[in-house]
Amino acid sequence: MLGSWFKTTILMAAIVALFGMIGAMLGGGTGMLLALLFGGAMNIWAYWNSADMVLRMYNAQEVDESSAPHFYSMIRDLSQRANLPMPRVYIIDEAQPNAFATGRNPEHAAVAATTGILQMLSERELRGVMAHELAHVRHRDILISTISATMAGAISALANFAMFFGGRGEDGRPANPIAGILVALLAPLAAALIQMAISRSREFEADRGGAEISGEPRALADALTKIERFAQGLPLSAAEAHPETAQMMIINPLSGGGLSGLFSTHPATSERVARLMALAQVR
Instruction: List the catalytic residues.
Output: 133
Q: Beta strand 88-92 with 61-63: parallel, antiparallel or unpaired?
A: antiparallel
Neighbours of 84 (CB within 10 A): 18
Nearest CA-CA partner of 56 in 123, 102, 107: 102
Neighbours of 214 (CB within 10 A): 26
Residue 174: DSSP 8-state = B
Do residues 254 and 243 lie in contact, with contact meaning Cβ atoms separated by under 8 Å?
yes
Query: How many Å apart are CA 191 and CA 19, to the nearest integer?
Result: 9
Q: Which residues, 6+ apart, have CB-to-CB distance to 177 below 8 Å?
A: 166
Query: How many Å apart are CA 83 and CA 77, to the nearest integer?
Result: 10
Query: How many Å apart are CA 99 and CA 203, to the nearest integer?
Result: 13
Three-state secondary-structure class, residue 283: coil
Three-state secondary-structure class, residue 213: helix
Query: How many Å apart are CA 234 and CA 216, to the nearest integer?
Result: 27
Query: How many Å apart are CA 138 and CA 109, to the nearest integer?
Result: 10
Please name the residue ranges forming H helices in the chain: 2-57, 69-81, 115-120, 123-139, 141-165, 177-214, 217-231, 237-241, 260-263, 269-282
Terminal CA-CA length for the chain: 18
